[in-house]
């Protein structure tokens, strides 16, 4: 076994040890796991949030727990599944944080009509919130269903929004810190994606470029992208003030919690969708004649 260098290497190294009986109908490289349950599928996701690496300065614990919960819900929604129930494990440094954490978990469940069923409580030297959510669906939208000649879409927050916010909060970029903190504390999910009959989809939380490469690898297609713009005047201002292109903000960020999906060209996407381009037979991602590198958020990235 080679010495792992980042998250992708770690996951590659453990692939042979996971799901040995091939019971996960979605497969290894997906946003969630699913097993047959009668005539439907039980779909589950677990997502972790760690204060020392994930908490911007100024974010209260209620907002942190809210975001941790939405992170997990987002992965199910990208598979076309409505989250039904949630449990959470909270490992905390200070007992004073507990009520705030439960408040955030509860608010997220109330906002998206998900049952908050309970969880686990531990002490720790760092604050860690692990959220498990589940739902049921007969039809699942996989990463490997795209075909050449389909339209590629984005559904969610304006491109570049969270990258701009994270840059302001963690990298001293020029910008409104109050607005950036508001963005990170109040993530929104695209529930109308649940009505979409997409051919493939992926939850985008590691940057557009990284997510497109994952979708490309799973479906064995490429993508010819349109010009990448943002509908947010705030994002455009942050880009200008910090001498960064909007394309960079969109491509190489993280925490978007939006959906990237493909559909046949004769099908209409849901309201709010942004066309990104088209899928191609050649498995390369391009804008004009430029190849887009596989970069974005990755744990353990040196």
User: How many whole angstroms separate alpha carbon 79 and alpha carbon 35?
Assistant: 13
- Going by pLDDT thresholds of 50, 70 and 90, the confidence category of residue 1 is very low
- Closest among 190, 184, 192 to 203, alpha carbons compared: 190
- Closest among 275, 279, 259, 246 to 159, alpha carbons compared: 246
pLDDT of residue 233: 96
pLDDT of residue 232: 95
- pLDDT tens-digit series, residues 223-257: 999 999 999 999 999 999 999 999 999 999 989 99
Kindly report each contact of residues 36-39 with a partner whose C-beta sits within 8 Å and lies 24 or more positions away, as own/partner.
Answer: 37/136, 39/138
Q: Which pTM was predicted?
A: 0.93
pLDDT of residue 5: 64
- Going by pLDDT thresholds of 50, 70 and 90, the confidence category of residue 300 is very low
- 10 Å CB burial of residue 27 (0-12, 13-18, 19+) is middle
Give Dmax (Cα) for the chain: 55
- Going by pLDDT thresholds of 50, 70 and 90, the confidence category of residue 12 is confident
pLDDT of residue 13: 77
- Going by pLDDT thresholds of 50, 70 and 90, the confidence category of residue 10 is confident
pLDDT at 299 over 70: no
Structural domains present in the chain: 31-137 (3.30.1330.10), 151-291 (3.90.650.10)
Q: What tokens does 253 get? A: 């960020």
CB 45 within 8 A of CB 31: yes
Cα atoms in the Cβ-side hemisphere of radius 13 Å centred on 237: 10
- pLDDT tens-digit series, residues 93-143: 999 999 999 999 999 999 999 999 999 999 999 999 999 999 999 999 999
- Going by pLDDT thresholds of 50, 70 and 90, the confidence category of residue 27 is confident
pLDDT of residue 26: 93
Highest averaged pLDDT of the listed ranges 22-31, 192-201, 290-299 = 192-201
């Amino acid at each position: 076994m080679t010495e792992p260098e980042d998250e992708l290497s770690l996951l590659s190294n453990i692939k042979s040890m996971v799901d040995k009986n091939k019971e996960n109908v979605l497969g290894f490289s997906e946003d969630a796991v699913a097993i047959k349950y009668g005539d439907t599928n039980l779909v589950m996701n677990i997502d972790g949030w760690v204060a020392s690496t994930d908490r911007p300065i100024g974010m209260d614990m209620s907002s942190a727990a809210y975001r941790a919960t939405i992170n997990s819900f987002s992965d199910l929604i990208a598979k076309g599944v409505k989250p039904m129930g949630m449990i959470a494990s909270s490992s905390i440094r200070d007992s004073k944080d507990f009520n705030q954490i439960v408040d955030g978990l509860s608010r997220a469940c109330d906002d998206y009509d998900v049952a908050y069923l309970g969880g686990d409580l531990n002490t720790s030297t760092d604050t860690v919130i692990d959220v498990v959510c589940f739902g049921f669906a007969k039809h699942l939208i996989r990463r490997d269903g795209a075909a050449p000649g389909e339209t590629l879409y984005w559904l969610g927050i304006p491109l570049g929004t969270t990258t701009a916010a994270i840059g302001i909060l963690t990298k001293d970029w020029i910008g409104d810190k109050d607005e950036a903190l508001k963005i990170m504390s109040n993530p929104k999910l695209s529930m109308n994606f649940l009505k979409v009959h997409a051919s493939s989809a992926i939850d985008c939380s590691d940057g557009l470029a990284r997510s497109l490469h994952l979708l490309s690898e799973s479906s064995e297609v490429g993508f010819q992208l349109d010009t990448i713009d943002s509908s947010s005047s705030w994002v455009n201002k942050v880009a200008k003030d910090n001498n960064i292109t909007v394309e960079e903000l969109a491509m190489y960020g993280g925490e978007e919690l939006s959906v990237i999906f493909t559909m046949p060209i004769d099908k209409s996407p849901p309201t709010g969708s942004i066309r990104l381009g088209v899928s191609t037979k050649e498995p390369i991602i391009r804008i004009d004649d430029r190849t887009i590198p596989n970069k974005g958020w990755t744990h353990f990235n040196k």
